[in-house]
Amino acid sequence: MSVAPEHPLAVFGHEEAKRVLRTLRAHTLLFTGPPRVGRRRVARWYAALLNCRAPQRGEPCGACESCRLFAATPEGPAHPDYREVAPERETKAGRRSRRPQIRIGDLVARDDAPNPLGPWLEARPRFRTRVGVIDGAESLSEGAANAFLKFLEEPPSYAVVILIAPSVQSVLPTLVSRSAPVRFGAVHVPAKLPEPHPAARLGRAGELLEAAAHPDAFSAQLAVVDRYLLGLGKGLEEALERADALEKAWSERAEVAELLRARLSAWPPERYARALHALGRCEEALAAYAAPSVAVQVLTLELRELVRGARGR
Ligand SMILES: [Zn+2]
């Protein structure tokens, strides 16, 4: 690799996906695989490669003007030929939205759309290739997908669209049939952490790297989860108080659910299975309703029953 491992364009693993991308000449790509394994990182890498002035052995050089723009900010690339569109996951109040969605106006020209992706992709690139990423293509509504199809059928020669989704099945068939699939699996990332992180088991490079970069935040999240679990054996009031703390941490970082899942896996198998079930229901409720504290309180009551049941009460 031409760039250092901590460089924003560095990719962990995914050699097969990179090989496929170097040879494919498709204008629409569908990246599928579990969240946080590095799909968007590879999308940025590919966009950098397509625009690099002097690629070296199939890697972006990391030094030319285009590559430098890809590495410009910690929030993501500030490259004039690269854009990411993602569903709105948060409401204005900062809470999880009921149903994250990419709106038609995000993709094609509408009166209320400030800068839709389609017309942006049609404008001439400053470097070589305009790359538009739709991260969360599974949440494209049928209307939005259909409006965007016209663009996907006849994209300009200098435009590439990358759809990112958990699986081929999660995306509308009309989009799947027009895109070249690139599959992503779990990757192994050697990250030094005070405690084993559940993301290591799941092969989620992004999560692991973030935890390694912010070990204090990771420890703080673990502490909230452990305090919550200890609280299950205490009085109801205290348990629910700790549930509120958990819910707060969870609404800030989705990874908190994975930490909780990892801790629950230490429970005896049958209790663990039932706890997982309860956690799954809670996650569904959180995705569907705007009352997160109630959902987590319900989870807490269910887990409390399991803990108390184990004590023979
Ligand atoms: Zn370069």
Domain boundaries, the chain: 15-187, 208-310
Mean pLDDT, residues 66-87 taken together:
86
Residue 240's pLDDT band (cuts 50, 70, 90): very high
Residues 6+ apart with CB under 8 A from 2: 56, 57, 59, 60, 61, 62
* DSSP result, 210-236: HHHH-HHHHHHHHHHHHHHHHHTTS-H
| Cα 274 to ligand 1 centre (Å) | 51
Mean pLDDT, residues 25-36 taken together:
91
Residue 303's pLDDT band (cuts 50, 70, 90): very high
Mean pLDDT, residues 147-167 taken together:
93
| Cα 83 to ligand 1 centre (Å) | 18
What percent of the chain lies above the pLDDT cut of 90?
54
| Cα 154 to ligand 1 centre (Å) | 28
Q: CATH number of 15-187: 3.40.50.2020, 3.20.20.70, 3.40.50.1220, 3.40.50.300?
A: 3.40.50.300
pLDDT of 233 > 50? The answer is yes
Q: What is the pLDDT of residue 1?
A: 43
45-71 tens-digit pLDDT:
999 999 999 999 999 999 999 999 988
| Cα 128 to ligand 1 centre (Å) | 12
| Cα 163 to ligand 1 centre (Å) | 24
| Cα 68 to ligand 1 centre (Å) | 7
Residue 94's pLDDT band (cuts 50, 70, 90): low
Nearest Cα neighbor of 258 from 203, 216, 300 is 203
| Cα 26 to ligand 1 centre (Å) | 21
| Cα 126 to ligand 1 centre (Å) | 14
265-296 tens-digit pLDDT:
889 999 999 999 999 999 888 877 668 899 99
